[in-house]
Amino acid sequence: MRLLLSLIIVALTMGGMVGITGAFFSSEAKSIQNLFSSGSMEIVLTDLNQTRSAILSHSWEGTTLLPGSIIPEQSIVIRNNSNVHADHYDLIFSYTGSGDLAKNIILTDANSGFRYGVSPEDFESVNLITGLKGGDDVDYDIQKGSDGSQIGNIDGADGTTRDNRISLSELAAAGKIRIQKAEDSDGMRANSEATLWLNAMVDQNLTAQNANIEVTITIGLDQDASQL
């Protein structure tokens, strides 16, 4: 009887131990409201009249122009105002008004020339006149914005006879012009600035009097080479 009672006590004790080992504490924590959103690219422009704006006016002008007149140098500062590096810029020159006047406004190398870059020095900018005649540059390539191919020589693009010069009319006829990073350039980095210098003169062959044109310069910024 005493042995049986001992066995019963042992059995109850083992049963209690089994029940105890089956109980555990637990806890749980969560991280919520984890949001993802895409950024954007932004280009802003600065000239003598306005600062860091998406739209400028009266940046490049000349009045009472005569044959041989020099149009004063003007410049537009182009800023990649975002945290994304750009692959290239696109330039489009368009105009409304007198075609004769547009054909006789000639881009020149005077002063800082018709250039794009950090400074007008050759090692920090590209001579756009040279590039638009098919020349090479180690900092930037000048390409067709429509397909990214080499632009070649736009002299005569408006149907006029080639004269080894680039007019406003030919610039407009060329369509979208891409400024693409080349081997010695790291492209248009985020939150960086470069300048487009504009120098031109009026050809001696101008005959249109009291003629007017209104020029629009459209500058696009793209992240990848595949964007046309």
Instruction: List pLDDT tens digits, range 62-107.
Output: 999 999 999 999 999 999 998 888 889 999 999 999 999 999 999 9
Residues 162-178, mean pLDDT to the nearest whole number: 96
pLDDT score at 183: 73
Residue 3 banded pLDDT, cuts 50, 70, 90 = very low
Topology, domain 43-222: Immunoglobulin-like (2.60.40)
Domain boundaries, given as residue ranges, for the chain:
43-222
DSSP assignment of the chain = -HHHHHHHHHHHHHHHHHHHHT--------------------EEEE-SS-SSBS---SSS---S--TTPEEEEEEEEEEE-SSS-BSEEEEEEEEEE-HHHHHTEEE--STT-SEEESSSSGGGEEEHHHHHBT---SSEEEEETTTS-B--B-TTTTSSPP-S--BHHHHHHT--EEEEE-TT---B-TT-EEEEEEEEEE-TT----S--EEEEEEEEEESSTT--
pLDDT score at 157: 97
